[in-house]
């Protein structure tokens, strides 16, 4: 079988993607972790008026050297005032109070001595001290949170400050996951015989999809039952944007998935790739929906979902998949083990502002070793033509968990 070059498989997948991100409006507290669908623009300056940032006295800076000032009023925070500070006058002002007209400086209470209505400045301050100027935080018209941002706690706070009670976010794509294979059992089930193993793929893929911002639906385990696999895939297509299967895509007698999705496909996008792991990857389209058939080996299925499935999830969310790549310095020599484009588990560490990739602690072996992805789920991307990566060389790494 001729394996399609990796770059070409990516290009085919990107070209196949035609649907636009859908938008829904959610309450601000439901928006955390969601993707902002429209730029959020400040309608006013923040602060809108000069505001005191300390408890003290609002004065005219030029009066500081003129002896005791006369206290005329008090302005607690939250008081809307249009009081005026005249020559040699001051107004008691609190943290968060608006600055009275005429004043330009706050003298903190620690810097004065007060006797009756006389306020004597003991320690002078610089002009404008403790006054937050108009627009200190942002100005009307500033784009505060850009479309495509994943909303975290800082965004929640900034959006609240802008007065957003509801937020337009991108509808989460839905990813339905089906595990196949008669040797695997579901979570919580006992292993009937020593030939059985616990399924990890369905939950790994579901968790990867959720982490990327999608909703995950578990379609269970379908054994190697051709009719049941087909039925579950069809059910998945009815409720999800992407149906992911694991197992049954290679050349064994019980590898039915590729035939089933071949029958269901309206358009075949990827039919094998020159990658290690995952050369048996299949991606087809049924209308606007995708079926992504991953190999059964746990490391393979996670990495290959990272290469193709996460690209689809990111595209459906309007996010740039390229953010997942970065360049790091390789800490030890690595001889590539296959003739394919290889995705080898590594760890990335930051030292003095530079990124370093290391293979230390990663096991050499088959595509079964999911534990190689522990600690950040990062892979070294090694081009097909490369045979040896030298220590100290700059390498491309792909972060699947971000």
Ligand X SMILES: Nc1nc2c(c(=O)[nH]1)N[C@H]1C(S)=C(S)[C@@H](COP(=O)(O)OP(=O)(O)OC[C@H]3O[C@@H](n4cnc5c(N)ncnc54)[C@H](O)[C@@H]3O)O[C@H]1N2
CB of 174 to ligand X, least distance (A): 20
Which of ligand X, ligand MOO, none is residue 183 near (CB under 5 to 8 Å by kind)?
ligand X
Phi-psi region of 278 (alpha: psi -120 to 50; beta: other; left: phi over 0): left
The pair phi, psi for residue 242, each rounded to 5°, is -135, 125
> If binding is defined by CB under 6 A, does position 232 make contact with ligand X?
no
> If binding is defined by CB under 6 A, does position 197 make contact with ligand X?
yes
* Residue range at the interface with ligand X (CB under 6 A); choices 52-60, 136-144, 193-201, 328-336: 193-201
Are residues 72 and 116 in contact, defined by beta-carbon separation less than 8 angstroms? no
Footprint on residues 263-302 left by ligand X (CB under 6 A): 277, 279-280, 295-298, 300
- Total residues in contact with ligand MOO, by rule CB under 6 A: 8
* Residue range at the interface with ligand MOO (CB under 6 A); choices 65-73, 277-285, 324-332, 348-356: 277-285
**Which of 47, 247, 306, 309 is close enough to bind ligand X by CB under 6 A?**
247
> If binding is defined by CB under 6 A, does position 187 make contact with ligand X?
no
Q: Report d(CA 32, CA 39) in Å as an integer.
A: 16
**Which of 92, 258, 279, 336 is close enough to bind ligand MOO by CB under 6 A?**
279
Binding flags for ligand MOO, 237-276, as an x/- string (CB under 6 A): ---------------------------------------x
Nearer to ligand X, 184 or 214 (CB): 184
Are residues 307 and 341 in contact, defined by beta-carbon separation less than 8 angstroms? no
Binding flags for ligand MOO, 165-194, as an x/- string (CB under 6 A): ------------------------------
Footprint on residues 48-87 left by ligand MOO (CB under 6 A): none
Residue 134 neighbours by CB under 8 Å, 6+ apart? 45, 47, 48, 49, 50
**Which of 278, 298, 306, 309 is close enough to bind ligand MOO by CB under 6 A?**
278
* Residue range at the interface with ligand X (CB under 6 A); choices 99-107, 241-249, 323-331, 393-401: 241-249
CB of 309 to ligand MOO, least distance (A): 14
CB of 148 to ligand MOO, least distance (A): 32
Return the HEC string of 68-109: CEEEEEEECCCCCCCCECCCCEEEEECCCCECCECCCEEEEH
Nearer to ligand X, 280 or 324 (CB): 280
CB of 194 to ligand X, least distance (A): 13
> If binding is defined by CB under 6 A, does position 307 make contact with ligand X?
no
> If binding is defined by CB under 6 A, does position 298 make contact with ligand MOO?
no
Nearer to ligand MOO, 172 or 279 (CB): 279
> If binding is defined by CB under 6 A, does position 50 make contact with ligand X?
no
* Residue range at the interface with ligand MOO (CB under 6 A); choices 114-122, 294-302, 323-331, 379-387: 294-302
Cα–Cα nearest to 284, from 20, 16, 4, 19: 16
For residue 273, is the peptide bond before it cis, meaning its omega torsion is within 30 degrees of 0?
no
Interacting residue ranges for ligand X, rule: CB under 6 A: 179, 181, 183-184, 197, 199-202, 246-252, 255, 277, 279-280, 295-298, 300, 367
């Amino acid at each position: 079988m001729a394996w399609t070059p990796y770059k070409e498989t990516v290009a085919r997948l990107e070209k196949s993607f035609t649907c636009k991100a859908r938008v829904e409006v959610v309450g601000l507290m439901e928006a955390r972790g969601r993707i902002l669908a429209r730029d959020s623009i400040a309608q006013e300056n923040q602060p809108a008026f000069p505001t005191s940032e300390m408890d003290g006295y609002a004065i005219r800076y030029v009066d500081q050297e003129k002896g005791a000032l006369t206290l005329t009023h008090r302005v607690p925070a939250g008081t809307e005032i249009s009081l005026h500070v005249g020559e040699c006058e001051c107004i008691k002002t609190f943290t968060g109070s608006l600055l009275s007209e005429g004043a330009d400086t706050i003298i903190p209470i620690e810097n004065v001595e007060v006797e009756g209505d006389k306020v004597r400045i003991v320690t002078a301050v610089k002009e404008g001290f403790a006054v937050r100027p108009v627009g200190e935080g942002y100005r009307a018209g500033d784009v505060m949170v850009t479309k495509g941002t994943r909303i975290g706690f800082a965004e929640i706070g900034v959006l609240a400050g802008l007065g957003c009670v509801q937020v337009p976010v991108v509808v989460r794509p839905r990813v339905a996951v089906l595990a196949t294979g008669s040797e695997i059992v579901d979570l919580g089930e006992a292993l009937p015989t020593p030939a059985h193993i616990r399924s990890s793929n369905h939950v790994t893929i579901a968790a990867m999809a959720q982490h990327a911002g999608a909703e995950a639906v578990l379609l269970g385990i379908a054994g190697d039952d051709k009719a049941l696999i087909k039925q579950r895939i069809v059910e998945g297509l009815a409720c999800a944007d992407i149906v992911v299967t694991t197992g049954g895509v290679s050349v064994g007698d019980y590898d039915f998935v590729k035939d089933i999705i071949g029958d269901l496909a309206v358009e075949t996008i990827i039919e094998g790739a020159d990658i290690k792991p995952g050369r048996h990857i299949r991606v087809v389209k049924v209308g606007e929906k995708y079926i992504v058939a991953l190999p059964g080996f746990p490391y393979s299925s996670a990495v290959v979902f990272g290469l193709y499935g996460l690209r689809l999830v990111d595209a459906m969310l309007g996010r740039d998949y390229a953010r997942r790549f970065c360049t790091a310095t390789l800490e030890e020599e690595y001889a590539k083990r296959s003739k394919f484009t290889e995705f080898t588990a590594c760890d990335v560490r930051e030292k003095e502002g530079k990124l370093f990739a290391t293979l230390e602690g990663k096991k050499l072996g088959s595509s079964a070793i999911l534990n190689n992805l522990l600690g950040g789920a990062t892979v070294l991307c090694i081009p097909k033509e490369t045979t040896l990566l030298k220590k100290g060389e700059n390498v491309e790494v792909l972060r699947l968990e971000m």
